[in-house]
Amino acid sequence: MWRISSLWKPAVVNQRNKKSATIPILNVFDIYGRNFLFAWLGFLVCFLSWFGVPPLMTKMIKRDLKLTAVDIANNNICGLSATLLGRFVMGPVCDRYGPRWGMISILLIGAIPTAFMPLVNNVSGLHAIRFFISILGSSFVCCAQYVNAFFDNNIIGTANAVAAGWGNSGAGIAFFVMPAIASALLNNDGYSLHKAWSLSFVIGPFLILLFVAFLLLFFGQDCPMGKWSRRSDILGVNQNNTLIKTVSLSKHGKVLSITASAVGVTGVDDPAAANKILVNKDSNDEKKYLNDEAQDSEENDVDIEDLISKDEIIRDPTFWDVAKISFAPRTLLCALPYLTTFGTELAVESILSALYEQHEKLWPMKKAGDWASMMGLLNVVTRPLGGFISDILYHHFKSTKAKKFWMLFCGVVQGIFLIWIGFRPHLSIAGLITALSFMALFMEMANGANFAVVPFINKAHTGLISGSTGAFGNAGGIFFSLVFRFTIVNGKNNYFRGFWIIGICSIVVNLAVCLIPIREERPKKIRTEMSCA
């Protein structure tokens, strides 16, 4: 049962896989709490730079570079393109080299085009620089894999959703921070319009990206056992840290014997002595624990060895793994709904400030940006809520099907709100903001619920599943940005037409994937211990 004290107390660790069953968010001295911080913080600062352009577009960049409505729409698409490729690539990279090094690489690579923003002086340069900055969006895959490496099944939905929700809020923070920096440079320091908006990227996102990258480099950890190359050491260990190699079962799934290899036994150099320790001292405890797990399973042919290790060790993906898994039906069960939910979020956040300025022509840039930031900032609460509810349903119904249908329900309700907003173009500004807030509630809960399902799709390649799902979400952002692009009539966007088109797509896709079965898995009992900070 969740307790508020778990937010600051040392992590409660599952002895079987060394993953945490709690989230010590406020305890940075605990390795689980500290690396949880790095997961969402790295993601947040990447989004700060990635979404830095839209808040400045209408009143500053558009005026400085003399952009048309078509130029702005095309630029929003450029700002999503590299992330599509980056997320596909970062999935296998995180599986092979670990999410910490993946995150550090993305932070440093993305900092380069961010620093080059002052060199932009025409629309082509703006398209190019936003394309390269958008590689920062693939940090989401690193964030998800980082969390999966440190947290156990009982809490993974909440952990993923909180990390992603807090990281996603970087998009909302950008709508506050970027106009504030640019306005200060323009009004207080006497910089020209061009220097004010372009230097704001160097003073803000560039320096922050470098700072967080060095934090991860010096204070981060790859996995609970240290280096990523040692990740397989944590699976199937007994109290002496001896890796279980084989488990013999009866035809009813009862553990008959345990054979161990002499791996990681502290203070024991002789393999025979190590095996003797396991057999004589711990085998009865292990048998009892494994038999309890076997009895909890609904299947008659329990494979305890897979349950202990094979199912949870993250493996180096081959080219065939990438090709086979990326578009497998179970992968699409998460990827297609994410296309409609996160894709909608990306597309709507790109145009939201412009929508408010078009709706309320007297609003200054900062006011429109402040209100537009609300959608991104809602992620602090809404996305974690989606994952938290998913975990509660999982434990209540003892089935991953509950997670699946909660995710799809949120996606369908999002679509209903989008259609309603699309056919109400004459809403007052208060009504429009309220309607968009309710839509965002279900949209962002769906995103959190989605990545509460992702870890159950293929545990040997969670990075690959995260990357594929994230890439589909980005593809949705490009597709729905094209919808807004082609609703331009006589140089003016008809954003409301775009809303109801996206709403119909959301409902159709989420209902269609109901037919894809999910891998059935019930919650298991775990043995825990308090971690040492």
Q: Are 366 and 505 in contact (CB under 8 A)?
A: no
Summarised one tens digit per residue, pLDDT across range 438-488 is: 999 999 999 999 989 998 888 778 888 888 998 999 999 999 999 988 887
- Long-range CB contacts (< 8 A, 24+ apart) of 214-220? 215/38, 215/41, 216/38, 216/42, 216/100, 216/103, 216/104, 216/107, 217/104, 219/34, 219/38, 220/34, 220/35, 220/38, 220/100, 220/104
pLDDT at 259 over 80: no
Q: Are 99 and 142 in contact (CB under 8 A)?
A: yes
What percent of the chain has a predicted confidence (pLDDT) above 70? Answer: 81
Instruction: Please report which residue ranges of 116-154 form alpha helices under DSSP H.
Output: 123-133, 139-150
Map out the domains of the chain with their CATH numbers: 4-227+319-515 (1.20.1250.20), 236-311 (no CATH)
Q: What is the mean pLDDT of residues 110-122?
A: 94
pLDDT band at 324 (very low <50, low <70, confident <90, very high): confident
Q: What is the pLDDT of residue 253?
A: 43
Summarised one tens digit per residue, pLDDT across range 486-504 is: 887 666 778 899 999 999 9
pLDDT band at 284 (very low <50, low <70, confident <90, very high): low
Radius of gyration of the chain (CA): 24
Rounded Cα–Cα distance for residues 351 and 54 (Å) = 7
Q: What is the mean pLDDT of residues 157-182?
A: 88
Q: What is the pLDDT of residue 258?
A: 45
Residue where the block lists tokens 């809404």: 382
Half-sphere exposure of 325 (CA within 13 A, CB side): 23
pLDDT at 255 over 60: no
pLDDT at 282 over 70: no
Rounded Cα–Cα distance for residues 28 and 443 (Å) = 31
Pick the most confident of 9-13, 350-354, 410-414, 426-430.
Answer: 410-414
Q: Are 278 and 258 in contact (CB under 8 A)?
A: yes
